[in-house]
Amino acid sequence: MLAYTGKRLVSLVPILIVVAVVVFFVMHLTPGDPAAVMLGTEASQADIAQLRHQLGLDEPVLAQFVDWLGGVARGDLGTSIFMKMPVSQAIAEHVGPTLSLSILAQLVAAVLALPLGILAAKKRGTATDQMVMGVSLLGISLPSFLLGLFLMLVFAVELRWFPVSGYKPLADGFLEHLRYLVLPALALGSMQAALIARMTRASMLEVLNQGYIEIARAKGLREISVVFKHALRNAFIPIVTVVGQSFALLIGGATVTETVFNIPGLGQLIVNAVERRDYEVIQGVVLVIAALYVVLNLIVDLLYGLIDPRIRHKR
């Protein structure tokens, strides 16, 4: 397991390098002078020159990159001149709601999707199967921000069951916290639910056709035990992949969903930064989320090794 972990860690290095290069150079795509763009049309030449210096834009690009990378390695993501605080602090202040929302959405997705996927596989080809697949296709077609608006219209504006928007931290009580997050989590979780249900069905179908399932049945095991103990366990690898990858996707989708419901998370941070052209913040948030994705993928890879010894002993 240790060698496997080491190999996985080494394979991250080139990906992280690409991530860093992309994030750094995106800011340099700006046509003209980023400092002038950030300060707007009414800034004086002296102000622009000072900001250029502060951002390090008066140095050669390669030196800037090395400086920036060095800072990132020490956890210094730069300073937001608009928010007057280090970018890392801004991120820390906004990460809570995003995580809360993402975890709840993932929970919603898993609870909805796993039983439906297993059911569809068991009843393959029947009306139940067709319906689950049809609904999941609809789920994939409904972007979270749009579903969010629809849910808001029905359950908050018309029925008034939930608040229209806003956020209450966990400190205000769990139920209150939950009340504000139910609609956003449903909106965000539905697409994941659709993806997970489809993958669960496909991977269960594959496993249910294997010989050892026949043997388990021939031994006279109850169907419930065949499905859950023998089939599900072996169908789990692709399911874990989708759950892992979709969790990262979820954090991306969370940014848009947060804007719909005015939740003060990373999404709101980056959207406000786009409005103000606060490049340092945009860079920082994008970098942190991409790094998070890479780490999550690593965890998923390591989980494979735990679930299926064949993978960690390969080669």
142 dihedral zone (left: phi>0; alpha: psi -120 to 50; beta): beta
Per rule CB under 8 A, is residue 130 in the interface with other proteins?
A: yes
Nearest approach in angstroms of CB 193 to other proteins is 15
Nearest approach in angstroms of CB 34 to other proteins is 8
* Residues making up the chain, counted from first to last: 315
From 105-113, 141-149, 229-237, 305-313, span contacting other proteins (CB under 8 A): 141-149
Out of 9, 61, 138, 299, the residue judged to bind other proteins by CB under 8 A: 138
Phi first, then psi, for residue 42 (nearest 5°) are: -95, 5
Per rule CB under 8 A, is residue 157 in the interface with other proteins?
A: yes
Structure tokens at 254: 């969370």
Query: How many Cα atoms occupy the beta-carbon half-sphere of 117 within 13 Å?
Result: 31
Q: Which 3 state secondary structure label does DSSP give 264?
A: coil
Please give, one letter per residue, the 3-state secondary structure of 184-210: HHHHHHHHHHHHHHHHHHHHHHHHHCC
Query: How many Cα atoms occupy the beta-carbon half-sphere of 92 within 13 Å?
Result: 8
Nearer to other proteins among residue 165 and residue 221 (C-beta): 165
Per rule CB under 8 A, is residue 22 in the interface with other proteins?
A: yes
Per rule CB under 8 A, is residue 42 in the interface with other proteins?
A: no
Out of 104, 110, 232, 251, the residue judged to bind other proteins by CB under 8 A: 251
Residue 303 DSSP one-character state: H
Per rule CB under 8 A, is residue 118 in the interface with other proteins?
A: no
Site for other proteins in 162-181 (CB under 8 A): 164
Cβ-based neighbour number of residue 58 at 10 Å = 11
Site for other proteins, rule CB under 8 A: 14-19, 21-23, 26-31, 125, 130, 137-138, 140-143, 145-146, 149-150, 152-153, 157, 164, 198, 202, 205, 248-249, 251-253, 255-256, 259-260, 270-271, 273-275, 277, 279, 282-283, 285-286, 289-291, 293-294, 297
